[in-house]
Amino acid sequence: MTEYHEYYPLGHIQAISLLLKNAANFATDKSEQLTKVDYSKYGEFADMVFGEDFHLSVYCDAAYSHLVASSLATFFESFFFHEFHNLRDEYEARRKEYEGRALKNSSFDRWKLISKDDFWNPKKVAYKLGKTKRDIVDGVQQLMEALEISIPIQPEKWLLIRTLFLYRNYVIHNGFEWRKAKLREFKSKVRNLKVDECFRSATSGNETWIIYMTKEFEFELVEFAFEIVHLFDLWFDERMNRFQHDADYLFNEDK
């Protein structure tokens, strides 16, 4: 019996999409308010009121961007975790068969290097006997290779997820306004990954102040979330059809 309630990934990403749409509208309204308000009516307090509204607008954009990052990162973590959890019981029952095939077909033998629980954890990458490191992108790909899951996911799609988790981790640990050293560090990693187009920033005194995800990057991530649910569903359907064909052949007395 499974330890978890039934997980519905399509419902998960649909809920996130609806939430992000409403949050985006709110953030946009706050930004547009700056151009609609006549601040002169505040007289000597005009600059102060404008400054407060400006900061509120920037923080609304930051809050929205952080919401996107945390919501989508949680989706991908949940999706991969539950998909592999659902496969575990069956593969455990046929472990020897799949171990043997993995030894022949895989250049990296995850089966033999780490514990059973670590093997099934998509957040962990095996790199030598008994040793793992945390990297969900490499972990998922390594686990898919070990299980011979042949789903056509392009390298640029994996890069999308890697970039998302990079930003999510900085957001979690550094908040809205990052120290200048952290801003430089993040921008250096972004340049190394060649994903500068995924981010935009607010500036203060001609220096980077707050970093946001671009709308295009957000859209690509949501689009890929729907796509990966579909790709895994297709793979499961094809796999179940293949198993049924094998069963029909094995138990057909007229063969």
Exposure pattern of 98-134 as b/e (b: 16+ CB <10 Å)? beeebeeeeeeebbebbeeebbbbbbbbbeeeeebee
At residue 95, the pLDDT reads 64
DSSP string of the chain, one letter each residue: --SSPPP-HHHHHHHHHHHHHHHHHHHHHHHHHHHH--GGGGGGGHHHHHHHHHHHHHHHHHHHHHHHHHHHHHHHHHHHHHHHHHHHHHHHHTHHHHHHHHHHH-SS-HHHHS-HHHHT-TTEEEEETTEEEE-HHHHHHHHHHHTT------HHHHHHHHHHHHHHHHHHHH-SS--HHHHHHHHHHHHHHT-GGGEEEEEETTEEEEEEE-HHHHHHHHHHHHHHHHHHHHHHHHHHHHHHHHHHHHT-TT-
Please give the Cα distance from 69 to 90 (Å, whole number): 33
Does residue 183 fall inside a structural domain? yes
Average pLDDT over the chain reads 82
At residue 31, the pLDDT reads 67
Share of residues in the chain with pLDDT > 90 (%): 37
Does residue 196 fall inside a structural domain? yes
- Name the more confident of 141 and 58: 141
Note down the domain range covering 69: 9-246
- pLDDT tens digits, 34-56: 677 777 787 887 788 777 777 77
At residue 255, the pLDDT reads 41
Does residue 233 fall inside a structural domain? yes
- Name the more confident of 93 and 86: 86
Please give the Cα distance from 38 to 28 (Å, whole number): 18
Q: Over 90: is that where the pLDDT of 137 sits?
A: yes
Does residue 2 fall inside a structural domain? no
The model scores a pTM over 0.85: no
Total structural domains within the chain: 1
Does residue 254 fall inside a structural domain? no
At residue 227, the pLDDT reads 94
Does residue 4 fall inside a structural domain? no
At residue 201, the pLDDT reads 92
Q: Over 70: is that where the pLDDT of 80 sits?
A: yes
Does residue 253 fall inside a structural domain? no
Residue 110: pLDDT band (50, 70, 90) is confident
Mean predicted confidence (pLDDT) in 235-241: 72
Does residue 170 fall inside a structural domain? yes
At residue 203, the pLDDT reads 87
Rg of the chain on CA atoms, in Å: 24
Residue 98: pLDDT band (50, 70, 90) is low
- Name the more confident of 94 and 192: 192
Mean predicted confidence (pLDDT) in 151-155: 90
